């Protein structure tokens, strides 16, 4: 799955393959709270990312990749 890059309000953002994020997190047995804390976003924001309603910045996407391997 490919990560798409876009610009929103002048900031570069990363549109993650959101269905893969939740699947990977659940496969690893990680909680939404725990992953959100490690990525540096709120639980509600990460939930929105997982449902495709929000996007990650490149820095956040890199942190998420580190957390989920």
What tokens were used for 41?
Answer: 């976003």
What tokens were used for 28?
Answer: 């690893």
pLDDT of residue 49: 92
pLDDT of residue 46: 96
pLDDT of residue 34: 98
Asked if 51 and 41 count as a contact pair (C-beta separation under 8 A), the reply is no
Asked if 5 and 13 count as a contact pair (C-beta separation under 8 A), the reply is yes
pLDDT of residue 20: 86
Weakly modelled stretches of the chain, pLDDT under 50: 1-3
pLDDT of residue 1: 40
In degrees rounded to 5, what are phi and psi of residue 47? Answer: -60, -40
Cβ neighbours for 39, distance < 8 A, ≥ 6 positions apart: 46, 56, 60, 63, 64, 67
| % of the chain residues with pLDDT over 70 | 74
């Amino acid at each position: 799955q490919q990560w798409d890059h876009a610009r929103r309000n002048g900031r570069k953002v990363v549109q993650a393959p959101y269905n893969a994020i939740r699947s990977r997190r659940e496969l690893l047995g990680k909680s939404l709270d725990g992953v959100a804390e490690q990525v540096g976003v709120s639980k509600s924001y990460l939930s929105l990312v997982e449902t495709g309603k929000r996007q990650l910045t490149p820095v956040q996407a890199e942190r998420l990749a580190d957390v989920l391997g």
